[in-house]
Structure 1
Amino acid sequence: MLTEVTATRYITPLREGGSLPGLVEADDHGTYVMKFTGAGQGRKTLVAEVVCGELARRLGFRVPRLVTVDLDPDLGLGEPDPEVQGLLKSSGGTNLGMDFLSGALGYDPLAFTVSPEEAGRIVWFDALVNNVDRSWRNPNLLRWQGEVWLIDHGATMIWHHNWPGAEASAARPYDATDHVLSSFSPDVAGAAAALAPLVTEELLAEVTAQIPDVWLTDEPGFATPDDLRRAYARPLLARAAAVHERVEVTGGSK
C-alpha cells in the first residue's frame, strides 16, 4: 500500500486544476499536492491517479511519489474561502497526496524538445490508459531538474465510469492528434516493443493493490474491493498488447 501520512496544515489552494487540489504539510514534514475525495470528480479520480501513477513509475516514467493523506475535516475551520472550507469539511479521511516538486516548470513544447523515443513512450502510455488530458492546452507534464515528469492522471481509464462497457473499451483507438508531444515524431511502435511485455497480470495486481479499500467499497456490481481491482486490471492488460496499432498522431497512425 501507499505510505500513509496525516495532514497537519493546509497551505493554499492550487487553482490550476478543476478539482481544486491544495498544498498541504504532513506529519512526515513533507509538502504534498493533495487531491480530495470531496471534490466534484470523487474518489474515482483518485483511483485513476494511483493506478496510472504507480503503473507509470513501474514502467520507468518519472512520476511524483504518491501517498495517502489522512485529513481531519476540522483542518478547514479557519479557512476564509468558503469553497475551500467546504471541500476540506467534505473530505475527512483518506485522500491522495503527491510530492510537491518545488521549482518545477510547466512543460512547454515550444521551449523544451523531447526525443522521438521519449515522446513515443509517453504517447504509448497515454494510449494504454486512454489519457484524454495531455494536450498542448493542458500538458500535465512538468520540467523538473532537467527531466520531464508525468502528473495528473485523473482523466484516464474513462471505462471505470461505465463498467459494463469496460472490456469493449480495450479495443478502441487512441486519438493523439492533439497530444502535446505529437509534433516530436513519437516512436510509438518502439515504445510498445519495450513496454508492452512489461504489462503483466502480476504487475497490474501489484499496482492495483496500492488502491485503498475505502475508495473501492460500495461500487455497484462488485462484491469486494479485490473484485474491483481485477476489473481495473483487465482492460489495461488487454489494451497493452496492441493499442500501438490504433494510435492516431499527426500525419496518421504510427
Structure 2
Amino acid sequence: MAKISVENLKFSYNSKDEAIKELSFSIEEGKWVCVVGHNGSGKSTLAKLLIGLLKADEGKIVIDGLEMNAENVHDIRKKVGIVFQNPDNQFVGVTVKHDIAFGLENQCVKQEKMVELVEEFSKVVGMNEYLNKEPHQLSGGQKQRVAIAGALAMNQDIMIFDEATSMLDPEGTKEITNFIVRLNKELKKTIIAITHDLEFARRADHIIVLNKGSVVLEGTPDDVFKHQDILEQTDLDIPFGLKVYQQIIKDEVLKNKKELVDKAWAYSLKK
C-alpha cells in the first residue's frame, strides 16, 4: 500500500480558476519525491492540501491509511511535518529549544520527556549547541534545521519541504539538501520536496512535474530530463551540467575523457 495516495484531486480558490485539476499520484514509503513546477503551477497549494490547511473540492487524499477529512486531519498532522519556504515565518519560539518544543507542548508531552526529545533531535540536526540562541542569531539554514528538528521530535515520518531552499544562499541550500538526503537515506523518512529547482530535484528518487494544476510528466530524474521540450514548455530549465552533456553529444561521439573535459570547458565559456 502506498504511503501517500492522491486520487482525482480538485481545488480552486474561487469558482472560476482551478488551482488543482484531476490530480492523481502515489508515493511509496521511504521515497524522496520532488514536485516541481513554475510559480502558479499548484505545487504549494498541493502541500497545503496534504497537511489539511486547505480542503479539496473533490477527490481523495490518503496518508498512511488515513483518508484526509475533518475527523482524521489531526491524526494525519501527527504523521506529516512541513518546512515552509521562509524560515523566519515558521520560527515560533523565543529560542531554539522553545521552538523545537512547541509542537510537543501542544501535545501535552511531559516536561521530562520533552527535554529529552529536544536534546535528542537538536543533536540530530546539529543544533544542540544553539539551544539558547534567539532567531535573529541564526542563519537561514540553521532556522530550517530547527524546523526539521521540531518535526522529527513529533515523530513524523513524512516530511514536506515547501521551497525550503529558495530563500537560502548557496551554502545554506547545500546544507539543507545534504540534510534531506540524510533524512531520507539514514532515517528512512518519506520526503516530498516542493521546488522549481531541477538541479535540486535531480537528487530525488522520483519527480512529478506540475503545470496549471495537472501532472504533465513524472518519472525518475533520468526519465524526466529526457523530455526537455516539455520542461521548457512549463518554464522549467534542466540542470546546466545536463545541458552541457546534451550539447556535447548532439553532433559527435567523444573518444576519451580529456576530449570530454575540453568540450565541456569550451561550451561553458560560451555561457
TM-score, structure 2 normalization = 0.27
Which is bigger in relative contact order (C-alpha 8 A, separation at least 6)?
2
TM-score, structure 1 normalization = 0.28
Query: By percentage of residues, which structure has more helix?
Result: 2
Which entry has the higher C-alpha Rg, 1 or 2? 2
